[in-house]
Amino acid sequence: MMDWLTAGGAFGGGKLLFTGEPLVIGLVAVVAVVVFGLAVSGSWRSRLPELVSLLVGLAFVGLVAARPVWLAEGERVEPGRFVVLVDASRSMAVAEPGGQTRFESALALAKRLQATETFHFGGELRSGSPSVADLDGTDIAGALQAVSRRYAGEQLAGIAVISDGIDRGGLIRADAAGARSLDESVLPALGGPLTVYAVGEARAVPDVSITDVVSGSFAFLRAPLTIEVRVERSGLGMESVPVTLTRNGQPAGSGVARFDAEGHGSAVFTLVPDAPGRFVYEASVPVAAEDAVPTNNRMSRVVRVVRDRVRVLQVCGSPSLDQKFLRLFLKEDPGVDLVSFFILRTQSDLRSGFSPDELSLIEFPYRRLFDDDLSTFDLVILQNFDYEPFFERDSTRLLGNIAQYVRDGGALAMVGGDRSFDLGKYGGTPLEEVLPVKLGVQGESVDEAAFAPMLTEAGARHPVTRLLADVAENAALWQRLPPMHGTNLTLGAAPGAGVLLRHPSRKEGGAGLPVLAVRQVGSGRTMALTVDSSWRWSFSEAALGGGNEAYLRFWKSAMRWLVGDPDEQAVVLELPRENVEPDEPLRLTARVRDAGFAAVAGANVVGTVIGPDGEVPLSSPTGDDGEATFLLPTAQRGAHRVKITATSADGAALGSAETVYAVITRDPELDRIGADAATLQALAEATGGRFVAAGTWQEPLRDATAGRTIQDRRESPLWSAPLLALLAASALALSWWLRRQSGQR
């Protein structure tokens, strides 16, 4: 009651402060003087009690306006705090031979220690006692640093760390020779004695784990790719372990990793990627019956295989000016690995009388080229080449090989001349099925008249004929290029082909005959150029002082498009990374373009992500820019395959694409699971603390003198105390009552 009346103040040691605003105090004083002056006017001797009461009342009002506060200050001492840090990383979830997990042991220890404050840590420090051991990383030094910062300047009774000692932070360093030691520089000054409790026993847990699959994030096509699979062993006596490597689920190699004295080993695989793209390489080791952590026995990594050089096969039926300039271009391009075969002599040249021994000719290895080596080429150029005299009875099979090579992802260009297209008798063969033009011309199959090819609408934007970025400048460039001298005749474009250049006057089906046409066939691409004088785009331009840029750009662009440069597919999937961390945001962009390479708006892009735990559907329309974006699932560790198909609004197939990515399967917490008591002991020694081995008990070090001084400061606002208001009101009321008793109003 008294506290209430006095607002809890005015008792004990302290001092009085007035916190009112001087202006307010002055105003109240003036008002009080005026009121009192008015009350005093007239006879005041007979009214002395009334005036005294009034004076007292006004004084209390003035006191309230001055806002008095009673300030009491003091200090008290409390015992020092005992802080416990519990390792809650995933390695603590490992069960010991007795069946109890390390984490359960740690919780029992923590309970016995009766901590003032309890924290848990993995890669970072968190308040409270943990309920489950599922944190990433183990940073013992980081946890101690956080505690040091938190209790800076305070004397702690003690600190206890409970851990299996498998530190993934910076506590342990290795020198050049690989020797491990404690890095004392990362340890903070602690506010109290440290006791380190070890849980788990080293090498008590039987486990074989893949700790890393080491390779670059990309490799070169047909160049050796080295993949090193690193393994570790604990609690098992095996000297080696078989390692299996797969690529996209198919066997890619097997080897043996031999363990050294410390239980480390590795198996090295040297592969030669035979196709560009993204591939999932997964390494695995067998799971033994007693293996404590089967999930760390396999690991995936995605490697992107890129071309460093485009391997081109140029087969020409006759040395010619057209062949000369194309070879010069291909040979001078450092990005091209060129294999040329030119037919320098035919049966009709035998009458010249020169002996074969005088000649520098070799046999045309057509069987090896088109049977065995075909798949090693990115691009096959048949330049004015007639197959029939060479392939003979193997014609159907060898041409079928080339067609299948295209369907499987290869690239083919047929260049015109008197041995090409229908003049080369390709009509009705398996090869015609993949060409961008229809063959079977009856009668005249060549037009020798000069003409200027016309750029089509598709050609204006197609990468093969888009020699300049500006559309108008590009069209002007094509118009000024020198004319072509003659062309093979065809029956027009094949279904699905894009026509980029047309003949200005020769028509088929109402449209100008294709001079340059391209086509996607299966996974591969083909191009038909029905002239044999494209070299004039180089040489005649040079005559005008313009160099040969147009010719070089044309063939460079054609080559890039034909070999399926990833940027020049109808459906392109773009991933910023191929290997991501769990739950890391990963956005996939699908770009859809039509045969003329125009962005397709409103296309339906559907697909699936096939991951370790099943399939996730994807579906989105493309925007005006022809792009659709998807947020890919990254919660589950392991390889994921994305399959995308795009169709136009009317249901026509536009193309499909696939890619892969991996949510890294490496869990550092499970790389090594053998408890590391030595690290913990070294930590205790480095800090002058106590080490308590696993399965034993000692009291923690406690500093009995540790304490913390609590500073007390108490402010009591007297001006708001009810007693003061009561006194003021009572005095004013008494004055008013006496005034009325004396007959005044």
Partner 1 sequence: MSSHPSRRGLLGAAAALALAGPRAAFGFGAPTRVDVAELQLARGTLSRPNAWSRLLLETVQTTSVECTPRAVQLEPDDPELFAHPFAVLVGDGEFPSLGAAAREQLVRYLSYGGFLFVDDTSGVPDSPFDKSVRALIQDCFPTRPLTVLSAEHSVYRSFFLLREPVGRVALHRRLEGISLGSMHPLIYSQDDVSGALDRREDGLDLHACVPGGEIQRREAVKLAINLIMYALTSNYKHDQAHVRQLMQEGRLE
Tokens of 80: 């020092």
Least separation in angstroms between CB 329 and partner 1? 9
Tokens of 65: 């306006």
Q: Name which of residues 77 to 116 contact partner 1 (CB under 8 A).
A: none
Question: What is the Cα–Cα distance from 187 to 194, expressed in whole angstroms?
Answer: 12
* Only segment of 68-76, 326-334, 490-498, 518-526 that touches partner 1 (CB under 8 A): 326-334
> Residue 371 interacts with partner 1 (CB under 8 A)?
no
Contact 320, 384 (CB under 8 A): yes
> Residue 429 interacts with partner 1 (CB under 8 A)?
no
* Only segment of 176-184, 260-268, 283-291, 342-350 that touches partner 1 (CB under 8 A): 342-350
# chain residues binding partner 1, by CB under 8 A = 70
Q: Tell which phi-psi region holds residue 244, choosing left (phi > 0), alpha (psi between -120 and 50) or beta.
A: beta
> Residue 678 interacts with partner 1 (CB under 8 A)?
no
* Only segment of 38-46, 189-197, 344-352, 458-466 that touches partner 1 (CB under 8 A): 344-352
Which helix (H) or strand (E) segment holds residue 610: the answer is strand 604-611
> Residue 451 interacts with partner 1 (CB under 8 A)?
no
Least separation in angstroms between CB 327 and partner 1? 7
Question: What is the Cα–Cα distance from 603 to 618, expressed in whole angstroms?
Answer: 14
- The residue from 70, 103, 279, 390 that contacts partner 1 (CB under 8 A) is 390
> Which residues, at least 6 apart from 149, have a Cβ–Cβ distance to it below 8 Å?
188
Nearest CA among 413, 401, 594 for reference residue 498? 594
Tokens of 517: 């046409």
* Only segment of 47-55, 340-348, 723-731, 737-745 that touches partner 1 (CB under 8 A): 340-348
> Residue 361 interacts with partner 1 (CB under 8 A)?
yes
Least separation in angstroms between CB 414 and partner 1? 15
Instruction: Specify the amino acid at residue 628.
Output: A
> Residue 342 interacts with partner 1 (CB under 8 A)?
yes
Residue-by-residue DSSP string for 401-427: HHHHHHHTT-EEEEE-STTSGGGGT-T
- The residue from 31, 51, 204, 328 that contacts partner 1 (CB under 8 A) is 328
Torsion angles phi and psi, residue 25, rounded to 5: -60, -45
> Residue 334 interacts with partner 1 (CB under 8 A)?
no
Least separation in angstroms between CB 455 and partner 1? 21
Query: HSE on the CB side for 215, CA within 13 Å?
Result: 31
Q: Tell which phi-psi region holds residue 15, choosing left (phi > 0), alpha (psi between -120 and 50) or beta.
A: beta
Which single residue is written with the structure tokens 């009673």? 70
Least separation in angstroms between CB 333 and partner 1? 11
Q: At what angle do helices 321-332 and 549-562 cross, to 10 degrees?
A: 70
Residue-by-residue DSSP string for 228-271: EEEEEEES---SEEEEEEEETTEEEEEEEEE--TTSEEEEEEEE
> Residue 545 interacts with partner 1 (CB under 8 A)?
yes
> Residue 418 interacts with partner 1 (CB under 8 A)?
yes
> Residue 445 interacts with partner 1 (CB under 8 A)?
yes
Question: What is the Cα–Cα distance from 162 to 151, expressed in whole angstroms?
Answer: 19
Tokens of 201: 């026993």
* Only segment of 164-172, 525-533, 656-664, 707-715 that touches partner 1 (CB under 8 A): 525-533
Residue 709 pairs in a beta bridge with 77
> Residue 185 interacts with partner 1 (CB under 8 A)?
no
> Residue 528 interacts with partner 1 (CB under 8 A)?
no
Closer of 82 and 537 to partner 1 (Cβ): 537
Nearest CA among 193, 133, 183, 188 for reference residue 163? 133
- The residue from 417, 514, 668, 700 that contacts partner 1 (CB under 8 A) is 417
Least separation in angstroms between CB 611 and partner 1? 46
Q: Name which of residues 475 to 504 contact partner 1 (CB under 8 A).
A: 485-487
Closer of 478 and 535 to partner 1 (Cβ): 535
Least separation in angstroms between CB 465 and partner 1? 21
- The residue from 220, 539, 719, 736 that contacts partner 1 (CB under 8 A) is 539
Sign of CA dihedral 577, 578, 584, 586: positive
> Residue 331 interacts with partner 1 (CB under 8 A)?
yes
> Residue 324 interacts with partner 1 (CB under 8 A)?
yes
Least separation in angstroms between CB 431 and partner 1? 17
Least separation in angstroms between CB 524 and partner 1? 24
> Residue 351 interacts with partner 1 (CB under 8 A)?
yes
* Only segment of 183-191, 341-349, 458-466, 603-611 that touches partner 1 (CB under 8 A): 341-349
> Residue 359 interacts with partner 1 (CB under 8 A)?
yes
> Residue 419 interacts with partner 1 (CB under 8 A)?
yes
> Residue 281 interacts with partner 1 (CB under 8 A)?
no
Least separation in angstroms between CB 409 and partner 1? 24
Tokens of 134: 């599922």
Residue 645's alpha-carbon distances to 316, 594, 607, 651, in angstroms, are 38, 13, 6, 11
Going across the sheet that includes 68-79, the strands are: 15-18, 68-79, 707-717
Least separation in angstroms between CB 351 and partner 1? 7
> Which residues, at least 6 apart from 311, have a Cβ–Cβ distance to it below 8 Å?
222, 336, 337, 339, 376, 377, 378, 379
- Running DSSP on this structure, what letter comes out for residue 372? I
> Residue 364 interacts with partner 1 (CB under 8 A)?
yes
- The residue from 535, 597, 661, 691 that contacts partner 1 (CB under 8 A) is 535
> Residue 428 interacts with partner 1 (CB under 8 A)?
no
Residue-by-residue DSSP string for 661-704: EEE----GGGT--S--HHHHHHHHHHTT-EEE-TT---PPP--T
> Residue 533 interacts with partner 1 (CB under 8 A)?
yes
* Only segment of 25-33, 283-291, 412-420, 681-689 that touches partner 1 (CB under 8 A): 412-420
Tokens of 19: 């916190």
> Residue 345 interacts with partner 1 (CB under 8 A)?
yes
> Residue 397 interacts with partner 1 (CB under 8 A)?
no
Least separation in angstroms between CB 606 and partner 1? 47
Residue-by-residue DSSP string for 621-676: E--TTSEEEEEPP-SS-EEEEEEEEEE-TTS-EEEEEEEEEEE----GGGT--S--
Tokens of 655: 């193309």
Instruction: Specify the amino acid at residue 239.
Output: E
Q: At what angle do helices 549-562 and 535-543 cross, to 10 degrees?
A: 160
- The residue from 6, 375, 540, 681 that contacts partner 1 (CB under 8 A) is 540
Contact 438, 490 (CB under 8 A): yes
Least separation in angstroms between CB 490 and partner 1? 14
* Only segment of 110-118, 250-258, 533-541, 673-681 that touches partner 1 (CB under 8 A): 533-541
Question: What is the Cα–Cα distance from 283 to 296, expressed in whole angstroms?
Answer: 11
Pairing of strands 638-647, 653-663: antiparallel
> Residue 547 interacts with partner 1 (CB under 8 A)?
yes
Least separation in angstroms between CB 315 and partner 1? 12
> Which residues, at least 6 apart from 457, have a Cβ–Cβ distance to it below 8 Å?
596
Least separation in angstroms between CB 347 and partner 1? 4
- The residue from 73, 388, 567, 615 that contacts partner 1 (CB under 8 A) is 388
Where does this chain bind partner 1 (CB under 8 A)? 317-325, 327-328, 331-332, 338-352, 354, 356-366, 386, 388-390, 392, 416-419, 423, 445-446, 448, 450, 485-487, 531-533, 535, 538-540, 542-545, 547-548
